[in-house]
Amino acid sequence: METSGDSETTTTPVSVNDFSITPNPAPGNQTVNLQMELENAGGQEVSNVTATLFGPTFGSSESQQRTWRTSDAGGVDSEYRTMTFGTLTPASDTSPAVPSRDTVTFTSPSLEEGRINSYNFNSRIQYTTETTADTEIQVMSDERYQETETSQTSPSVENSDGPIQIGVQGTTPHVFYDVGTADEEMCFTVINEGEGMPFLVTGNDGVSQGDSGYDVTDSAEDKVRLTVEDVGNVNFESQETGENSANVELIGNEGYHCYDMELSGLGQTTDLEQSTDIPIDVQYGYQEETSTSVTVEGRR
């Protein structure tokens, strides 16, 4: 995949500024605060941001005193241990990105005097976003192609920030020989350059957000929604769906999908050549993890 641009693309759009527990060390059977602060570190909006906590044993009732319980020592369900951050907006030319912060209060496990235990808290951060890209294709008549002795090159791609990056296979220019229409094939790669897992949130098999984040099913894992836009006399149809959009499965962090590209009005729209910018869009959810730890001490 060839990528062009003046600045390096950010493939980790969500920055974890803080994930900590206070106090630490914490006394047993006392309330502690777990706080997290997230910030948009890229250039694309990130929405429906949640962080679900897991790792230590959470209690289902007040009687389970050796577990982590709610602030009033009750049972912890998945909604209670899910932090919400809404939409994270990227920085602009006139204002910085604004971090979002959330806190969950737990009651620590009850321990015997003198006993010290360490507990790891993991957080599954989930959000929805998109990666947009542009590629330029050139179309030439055979006469013009021979006249200019133009070389076949790989099309460059301008990607926005995001863990999913887009590439284009094939060469440009596309040469046509007869007036009218021509059918070509254009194939795209989607590559997971982040540290987490993409999942499908639109189209068939897409999952919806609940009170405790996204329940990502097997049919949604490692899939994204790819759309290639028609521009002027250049039209795209997925070889699977017959539409502009298709679900793409990533295997080993890379997916591949081909479109039929129909060029109409050749020889009437232009007798010689044309250049067209093709917008590409990939929509997806993304899931990654981070962790922190706390020491609990049994005290008198």
Q: What pTM was estimated for this model as a whole?
A: 0.90
Residue 2: inside a domain: no
Residue 221: inside a domain: yes
82 lies in which domain range? 14-128+287-297
**Side-chain half-sphere exposure of 24, counting CA atoms within 13 A:** 15
Residues 57 and 169 reside in one and the same domain: no
Q: What is the CATH number of the domain that holds 86?
A: 2.60.40.10
pLDDT at 154: 87
State pLDDT tens for residues 226-275: 999 999 888 999 999 999 999 999 999 999 999 998 888 776 655 678 88
Residue 204 is encoded by which pair of tokens?
Answer: 């068939």
Residues 60 and 97 reside in one and the same domain: yes
Residue 4: inside a domain: no
pLDDT at 5: 40
Residue 23: inside a domain: yes
| Segments of the chain assigned E as strands | 14-22, 26-27, 31-40, 46-54, 69-70, 82-88, 100-107, 116-141, 157-159, 164-169, 174-176, 180-192, 197-199, 209-210, 213-214, 223-228, 234-238, 245-249, 254-266, 273-297
Residue 6: inside a domain: no
pLDDT at 2: 39
Residues 148 and 188 reside in one and the same domain: yes
pLDDT along the chain (300 residues), means of 10: 51 95 97 98 95 97 93 96 97 94 98 96 97 92 85 91 95 80 87 97 82 91 97 92 96 96 72 86 97 94
Cβ contacts of residue 95 below 8 Å, gap of 6+? none
143 three-class SS: helix
Residue 60: inside a domain: yes
Residue 5: inside a domain: no
